[in-house]
Amino acid sequence: MRGCTLAVLLMISASLFAAQKPNIVLITLDSTRADRMGFLGSKARLTPNLDALAKQSVAFEHAYAQSPRTLASHAALLTGTYPPYNHVSEFGAGLADSLPYLPDLLHGAGYRTAAFVGTIALDPRDGFAPGFDRGFETYDAGFRLPQAGESRYGTVERRGGEVAARAVTWLQRPGKGPFFLWLELNDPHAPYQPPAGYARAGSAYNGEIKYADAQVGKLLTALRARKVYDGALIVVAGDHGESLGAHGEETHGVFLYDDTVRVPLLVKLPQNRAGKPAPHVRLVDVAPTMLELAGLPVPPQMQGQSLLRAMRQAGTGEAAYARSEYSRDAFGWSRLESWRAGKYLYIRAPKAELYDVEADPGCSHNLAGNSQATAGTMATQLLAFDSRMTGKASGSAQLSSSELQKLASLGYVGLQKSVSPNETAVTGTDPKDEIALANKVEGAMLEIEDGKAQRASAALQAVVKGHPGMFLAQFAAGMAAMQQRQYAQAAPFLRKAIELQPQAAWAYYEMGEALAHTGDWKGAATHLEIAVARLPEMAEAHATLAEAYQHLGRAADAKREQERAGQLRK
């Protein structure tokens, strides 16, 4: 009886909310483990504001991200599409215009739209997220790579307190019509450096969680002060979790266990109507849910299912898919895919994995060898899912024939073709066997982001020497040299990075900058032309390209790029 009553309430509520077009608030929490949430069973008392919100919300106990990487996970959440369909990656294509995009759809329906993000990973102009500002009237980012000695805060990252304060300022401005506000808090991301007053939370990571929760509280207080809290649709989601050493992974990005793929998810319906959640839901379900509650049609390209339907129906929920392209693109290893159905987690890898996550939540006992029938069933379901993704279109980061010819004129030969996003092969190195190396490279990247390139260089050069085919090591070594103004030394690393990942836009930008500093204006222009084609809103790329054109006597082209850089800097 209770289930029927809930279903009726949800159907009635959905129609009422749609008629009123509720204000919508999306809060995403970077690198946030589900097991740190009080409303999901943690006793550490880290999340009092989220716990209070959960009492007026639907709290999903088993919600799963589709990627353990920030950009790819947010792409799935905001487009309602899976990684093999949208192809978004910080090393490849950005957000294609052909993809359905929640902010754009809401803006087209009359919503005022604003985003406030805390990381360069989600910066559409000067970071790794081209296209993510589509549909936003305000997109507050403005990050940059640090110079030697600069802190990460204020360059590649912004403290949650500042991000939340900017969002609150926007919220207090008068405006007509409903609004969509996205707040992204990056604080739990490594390195864990909680502000004073939050360090005594059991660990530095826990301190970052507690600090992020406090910033959520500030935004909720501002919503109440404006008397828009009760009628708002509020969604809080982790983009992915954090391994914290589980299975040998220090942070995130490679593995697909619950440590990094299970995430907190709260949905506060307008008028604070609580409900009973379905057992298994996905971040890809968030965008369709918001559209349904706003009374807008869900585009047929969206592959997620409205969570309202999940709350109406009994059952175990939909199977959950996740993918790590990062293991292949960054390190040259096999990609990983996972499939969660019922009590089982199956991971497609060179050494296949199967876990009974109810009996073994830490995924310490691989059953693939002893439970071959179950593993085979899960593998078949995963292959069937992959087959439905094959041929789905979005943007492409592939080089054009003209770009290939220009690179050939600079001596590039045998550029590696990127693997099809729909390729299902899992051949090559199993990431489980090399995760310590990934930790070493990721640690060096964090040093570079903190303005400590000199400390990172020695470690990176040792990795490059032993593993010359590792894109991220080559790219990071080039960035470390650039930060130290060693431009001639940076160029060979960046050149190799481009050979390994010809679709990586940022490698072309860094190479263009390096060559400009060494006076190779022709080479700089070629690399920067490719960079601006993929990073069209990056002012610095346009500015340096203008300088290159000026040195090459291409005055009209230089003027065009100077004007474009000026427009972007306004």
Q: Looking at residue 371, what is its pLDDT?
A: 95
Residue 160: HSE in the Cβ half-sphere, 13 Å Cα cutoff: 28
Q: Are residues 108 and 219 in the same domain?
A: yes
**Cβ burial 295-310 (10 Å sphere, 16+ → b, else e):** bbebbebbbbbbbbbb
Binned at pLDDT 50, 70 and 90, residue 19 comes out as low
Does residue 396 belong to any structural domain of this protein?
no
Q: How many residues does the chain have?
A: 570
Is residue 266 within 8 Å of residue 54, measured between CB atoms?
Answer: yes
Q: Which of 297, 318, 339 is the last residue of a domain?
A: 318
Residue 207 shares a structural domain with residue 260 = yes
Q: Are residues 437 and 338 in the same domain?
A: no
pLDDT of res. 2: 37
pLDDT at 207 over 90: yes
Task: Specify the CATH number for the domain of residue 48.
Answer: 3.40.720.10
| Better-scored residue on pLDDT, 153 or 280 | 153
What band does 393 get if pLDDT is binned at 50, 70 and 90?
very low
Q: Examine the domain organization and report whether 226 and 346 are in the same domain.
A: no
Torsion of CA 510, 512, 513, 519, to 10 degrees: 150
432 and 519 both lie in a single domain:
yes
Q: What is the pLDDT of residue 3?
A: 41
> Which pLDDT score is estimated for 9?
43
pLDDT, averaged across the chain: 91
Whether residue 240 lies inside any domain: the answer is yes
| The pLDDT value given to residue 422 | 54
Q: Are residues 549 and 459 in the same domain?
A: yes
424 vs 510: which has the higher pLDDT: 510
| Residue 366 pLDDT > 90 | yes
Q: What is the mean pLDDT of residues 177-195?
A: 97
Is 94 among the domain residues? yes
State whether 175 and 284 are in the same domain.
yes
Contacts of 525 (CB under 8 A, 6+ apart): 512, 545, 548, 549, 552
| CA 496/CA 116 separation, integer angstroms | 35
Could you say which of 291, 318, 345 is where a domain stops? 318
Looking at residue 418, its pLDDT comes to 57
pLDDT of 237 strictly over 60: yes
206 with 261, same domain: the answer is yes
pLDDT classification of 164: cutoffs 50, 70, 90: very high
376 located within any domain? yes
Whether residue 395 lies inside any domain: the answer is no
Give the model confidence (pLDDT) of 413-435 as tens digits: 878 665 555 555 677 899 999 99
- pLDDT of 419 reads 54
On whether residue 199 sits in a domain, the answer given is yes
- Provide φ and ψ at 117, rounded to 5°: -115, 155
Task: Inform me whether the pLDDT recorded for 251 exceeds 50.
Answer: yes
To the nearest whole percent, how much of the chain has pLDDT over 70? 91
413: which residues sit within 8 A by CB, 6+ positions away?
none
pLDDT of residue 135: 98
Whether 395 shows a pLDDT value over 70: the answer reads no
pLDDT digits (tens, 9 = 90+) for 31-46: 999 999 999 999 999 9
Neighbours of 227 (CB within 10 A): 8
pLDDT digits (tens, 9 = 90+) for 315-325: 556 899 999 99
User: Is 331 in the same domain as 303?
Assistant: no
394 part of a folded domain: no
* CATH number of the domain where residue 479 is located: 1.25.40.10
| Gap between the Cα atoms of 172 and 221, Å rounded | 12
User: Which pLDDT tens digit goes with each residue over 259-297?
Assistant: 999 999 999 999 866 666 667 899 999 999 999 999 999
More confident residue, 276 or 218: 218
Whole domain around residue 330: which residue ranges? 326-389
The pTM is what? 0.94
Which of residues 266, 300, 318 is at a domain's end? 318
Q: Considering the domain boundaries, does residue 480 fall inside one?
A: yes
Coil, strand or helix at 81: coil
Q: Spell out the SS3 assignment of 482-513.
A: HHCCCHHHHHHHHHHHHHHCCCCHHHHHHHHH
Amino acid occupying residue 140: D
- The tally of domains found in the chain comes to 3
pLDDT category at 20 given cuts 50, 70, 90 is: confident
What tokens appear for 44 in the block?
């550490």
130-139, 194-203, 258-267: least confidently modelled range: 194-203
- Pair 149, 239 in one domain: yes
DSSP for 282-303? EGGGHHHHHHHHTT-PPPTT--
Does the pLDDT at position 301 exceed 60?
A: yes
Identify whether residues 374 and 411 lie together within a single domain.
no
**What is the model's pLDDT at position 1?**
35
- 390, pLDDT greater than 70: no
| Band (5; pLDDT cuts 50, 70, 90) | very low
Please indicate, yes or no, whether residues 416 and 443 belong to a single structural domain of this protein.
Answer: yes
pLDDT, residue 110, reads 97
The CATH number of whichever domain residue 345 belongs to comes to 3.30.1120.10
Res 519: pLDDT: 97
